[in-house]
Amino acid sequence: QQQVKQSPQSLIVQKGGIPIINCAYENTAFDYFPWYQQFPGKGPALLIAIRPDVSEKKEGRFTISFNKSAKQFSLHIMDSQPGDSATYFCAASSFSGGYNKLIFGAGTRLAVHP
């Protein structure tokens, strides 16, 4: 059972476009929603994160939009660049058993063409 559903599986955009990656969750106990960026041959690295008490968070060209009632959140990349080509994972976290357990989505492979 996939607790965090991510779409699309892959995405191709032209340089300057605005790719959007969507995630949906079921567990209302989740209280932290990070996005991780992974380049080939590297481990995932935290990109941006949001808590459910806000509807939007921006960091540079990256924006998370959060809809608590719909249990959905999305990542927008403004003015995308070829260097943004990577795999993106959404995740959701809840504090359980003494630590913050991260549940990951399946990932989206983004290609930004020059």
**Nearer Cβ to other proteins, position 40 or 114?**
40
Output phi, psi for 82, to 5 deg.
-55, -30
**Nearer Cβ to other proteins, position 6 or 63?**
6
Query: How many chain residues bind other proteins (CB under 8 A)?
Result: 25
The verdict on 95 binding other proteins (CB under 8 A) reads yes
Q: Which of 44, 47, 110, 112 binds other proteins (CB under 8 A)?
A: 44
Q: Which residues contact 22 (CB under 8 A, 6 or more apart)?
A: 6, 7, 8, 72, 73, 74
Return the closest-CA partner of residue 50 out of 93, 106, 86: 93
The verdict on 42 binding other proteins (CB under 8 A) reads yes
